[in-house]
Structures are given as C-alpha cells and as structure tokens.
C-alpha cells in the first residue's frame, strides 16, 4: 500500500504511529477526559494494541490514525481514517483524540478536515464519524468538517451513538 499522510495544517503535522509512541499514546488513551465517552480508559497494553492496529491499517489500507504534532513538535493527539462497522455495514470513519490541554483550540477540526480531504483525493465516496450522543465537542468537530447527523444507533459498547456522515 502507498504511504499516505494527510496534508499538514497551519498548526499540525501528521506521521505514522509506532512502538516508540507508546508513552504518548498510553497517556492519551489513559486520560479520563479523553476517554470520557468510552466505557473506560485504556491500559498501556491496550494502547500498544491500538498502535499495532493502526500499523496494520497502514499496511493493509495505506491509512489509519496518525500522530499529531504541533508546529513545535509537541505530541497533541491522533487523527485519521479507519474502517468501522455500523449496523452490519462497513464505513470509512474519521476519528480524533486530542490531549486535554490542546482541546478547544480547533486542532481536532484542522486535523479532521485534512483527513477528510485525503479520503476525498483517494476516491472514497463517503465518510462517517461515530460519536457518543453526549459528546458535544466531537459533534461540533464533525459538523465543522461537513458531516451531518444521519442516524442514532447503539455502539458495540451498548452506548447511545450518533452517526455523522457526508458524501465526498
């Protein structure tokens, strides 16, 4: 698969994650604020599995979630594209997680917009975001990048979930 990366934004760069990112990813996924709308925070081992899952995505699809660094090189979070199942149908999802100290600055929106644009240039026809019903910040990001609420469902975790979507 080709080595795909979203275009840098005004404040962010993207790169593939790997085992050397375990400390940052464990901190991100272990954060109660970041994981507020998940059943629980992830352990260090689960963060390692998350990295491996993304590495498989890069190898199989050319994409996954990428590490976000700000213009000074600091780790900000992750954002990217992955295949997800919703009600028995596979969709391309844009996902994003940003460290609490960087939330509310528009960085997730910048990153998601660049990922949306990459999906479009790769010929994808549709993009979704799977968002917990009560996650207002994530819903705003999805809306700012052109996704609209399409349906309500129940997540694999049994949580009330909204599917935001757009045609590309």
User: Treating both helix axes as pointing N-terminal to C-terminal, what angle do 22-29 and 44-61 enclose, rounded to 10 degrees?
Assistant: 110
Cα 88 versus chain centre, distance: 21
With cut-offs at 50, 70 and 90, classify the pLDDT of residue 3.
confident
**Which tokens go with 166?**
């757009």
Cα 147 versus chain centre, distance: 14
Q: Could you tell me the pTM of the whole model?
A: 0.96
Average pLDDT over residues 153-167: 92
Average pLDDT over residues 144-149: 98
Is the dihedral angle over the CA atoms 116, 23, 131, 53 positive or is it negative?
Answer: positive
Q: Where are the alpha helices (DSSP H) in 7-155?
A: 22-29, 44-61, 107-121, 136-144
Q: What is the mean pLDDT of the chain?
A: 96
Reported as a single tens digit per residue, the pLDDT across 80-118 is 999 999 989 999 999 999 999 999 999 999 999 999 999
pLDDT of residue 157: 81
pLDDT of residue 101: 97
Strands (DSSP E) contained in the chain are: 12-16, 65-70, 75-86, 89-98, 126-132, 148-154, 160-167
Domains, the chain, in order of start with CATH, read: 12-124 (3.40.630.30)
pLDDT of residue 1: 61
pLDDT of residue 44: 98
């Amino acid at each position: 698969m080709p080595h795909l990366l979203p275009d840098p934004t005004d404040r962010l760069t993207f790169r593939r994650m790997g085992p050397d990112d375990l400390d940052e990813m464990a901190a991100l996924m272990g954060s109660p604020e970041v994981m507020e709308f998940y059943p629980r925070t992830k352990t260090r081992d689960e963060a390692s599995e998350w990295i491996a899952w993304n590495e498989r995505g890069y190898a199989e699809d050319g994409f996954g979630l990428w590490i976000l660094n700000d213009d000074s090189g600091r780790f900000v979070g992750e954002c990217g594209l992955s295949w997800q199942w919703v009600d028995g149908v596979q969709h391309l999802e844009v996902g994003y997680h940003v460290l609490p100290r960087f939330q509310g600055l528009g960085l997730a929106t910048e990153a998601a917009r660049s990922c949306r644009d990459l999906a479009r240039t790769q010929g994808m026809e549709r993009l979704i975001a799977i968002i917990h019903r009560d996650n207002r910040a994530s819903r705003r990001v999805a809306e700012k990048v052109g996704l609209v609420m399409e349906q309500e469902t129940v997540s694999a975790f049994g949580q009330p979930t909204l599917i935001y979507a757009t045609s590309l």
